[in-house]
Structure 1
Amino acid sequence: MPSNNAPVLHYIFDPLCGWCYAAAPLLAAARALPGLEIQWHAGGMLSGPARRTITPDWRAHVMPHDERIAKLTGQPFGDAYYNGLLNQVGATLDSTPPIAAMLAAEAMDGRGLDFLARAQAAHYVEGRQIATLAVLQALAHELGLDTLSFTTHYEIALAGDTARHIEESREWLQASGGQGFPTFVFEFTDGASGRRVAQRIDMGPWLGNPTGWQEHLRQGLAAAEDAAQG
């Protein structure tokens, strides 16, 4: 539940979703906005039966999307990703390990979204396999998290918390009417009824324009404050 009945921006995403990487500057802009609480929901796009391995067909499938994202948003894609990772046939693409790592970072120091940003850069720029524990441990260390404690929290998350989180995130996506990842939902209190209201926000017009997105959210916060006062 939000603290002090504050407005909340819910972010429904997956760490291996290219369009979520496209939305990363929007998320960063939202996190920098005073008075707005962020709650994240990782949906496990490539978890369980949906887990994949890299193949030439997969590379051919994702590259046009990645190139469009780069052109639309300016998000960087490294040669180590295009010509390194995407050519590592047989490498695992599994959303569950990075989600568990985010939960570990959140439990340790409230840094789940910091871990997401670092993991996305590791994947899309540095071409690192973020489904492997060694890479996740290295990223945690780079963020200043104690590796031993991180590993303990990670293993706890893998034992059950991650599956529950993914299930709840998918419920959020369905309830919001979102069509996929990423989806943003703005939640606030209606003063007249005292009820929490959740509204899905179309991020499409703001891709590549985090400043405009931040102003859009700022206006939403002002409207939510008015609504809270009835």
Structure 2
Amino acid sequence: MSTTVTYLFDPLCGWCYGASPAIQRLGQEATITLELAPTGLFSGGGRVMSADFADFAWSNDVRIGKLTGQTFSEAYRNQVLGQHGTRFDSSAASLALTAVAHTAPAEELNTLKLLQEARYVNGLDICTPQGVDGVLRARGLTAAADLLARQDPDLQLQHDARVQKARRLMQAHGAQGVPAMVVHGASGARLVRGDALYNGHDALLAAIAGAAA
């Protein structure tokens, strides 16, 4: 019997990138049905990169890298954090994931990984439609890229509905941030905090099993 796990995240969240290996492995579990739920945590708001914000982000990223072993490259530090005045907005990346979910759902989890690596490893800007378009087309996800390019209003509605559903889950279960998971089990839905994603695969499965019981 499969257990459904809803993964609450934002593509620009460094801790979510740190959890990427755990989430990718979880997505391969035959007994787990993993649903991606972008929360829009860093969508909109008009935030731009500044020297102070870049310094704060880098100090946090160094901590995440030491804990998880994930790469935060000098290309990311220079070409993303160093580009002061550029947008810090996850709308384009979250919309891209919705486009992939619509056109090639089996590719969505891997696309999240590719978007994260494009930013944190390759130093590419995934806060723009052009940036995410390049990631999608490099993977051969042309249908999703074309859907984004057309600025399809139905796609935007689907995306907004996903974000609102994720936010309702966060509110209902008292999630204070991302990453986090909601496990849907026999006795209802329960929150599993994000720190469970950094303690190893066996411990993660045990936490999910406990929440599903």
TM-score between both structures, scaled by the size of structure 2? 0.89
The match for 1:151 among 141, 145, 148 is 145
Give the match for residue 209 of structure 2: 220
Residues 1-230 of structure 1 mapped to structure 2, 5 A cutoff:
6-49=2-45, 51-110=46-105, 111-146=107-142, 149-154=143-148, 155-156=151-152, 159-190=156-187, 197-207=188-198, 209-216=199-206, 220=209, 224=212
Tell me the distance in 1 between the aligned counterparts of 2:42 and 2:33.
Answer: 27
Figure out how many residues of one structure are paired with residues of the other and give that number: 209
CA RMSD of aligned residues (A): 2.1
Tell me the distance in 2 between the aligned counterparts of 1:80 and 1:198.
Answer: 40
Structure 2 unaligned residues grouped into runs of 5+: none
Structure 1, residues 70-126: CA drift from partner, whole Å, max 9, x if none? Answer: 000101111111122111111111111101100011111102222111000011111
Aligned residue type for 2:201? T
Tell me the distance in 1 between the aligned counterparts of 2:202 and 2:52.
Answer: 37
Aligned residue type for 1:220? A
> CA 1:169 to 1:203, structure 2 compared with 1: closer, same or farther past 3 Å?
closer
Aligned residue type for 2:101? E
Tell me the distance in 1 between the aligned counterparts of 2:146 and 2:78.
Answer: 34
Structure 1, residues 181-213: CA drift from partner, whole Å, max 9, x if none? Answer: 1111111224xxxxxx11111342551x43334
Structure 1, residues 54-76: CA drift from partner, whole Å, max 9, x if none? Answer: 11011111111101000001011
1:158: Cα distance to partner?
5.5
Tell me the distance in 1 between the aligned counterparts of 2:12 and 2:197.
Answer: 21
Tell me the distance in 2 between the aligned counterparts of 1:122 and 1:78.
Answer: 11
Tell me the distance in 1 between the aligned counterparts of 2:101 and 2:13.
Answer: 20
Tell me the distance in 2 between the aligned counterparts of 1:205 and 1:170.
Answer: 20
> CA 1:199 to 1:108, structure 2 compared with 1: closer, same or farther past 3 Å?
same
Give the match for residue 193 of structure 1: none
Partner SS, residue 5 of structure 2: strand
Structure 1 unaligned residues grouped into runs of 5+: 191-196
Structure 1, residues 129-153: CA drift from partner, whole Å, max 9, x if none? Answer: 101222211111222212xx22342
> Which structure: larger Rg?
1
1:6: Cα distance to partner?
3.7
1:127: Cα distance to partner?
1.2
Q: Percent identity?
A: 29
Q: Is the 8 A contact 1:33 1:214 kept in 2?
A: no
Aligned residue type for 1:100? L
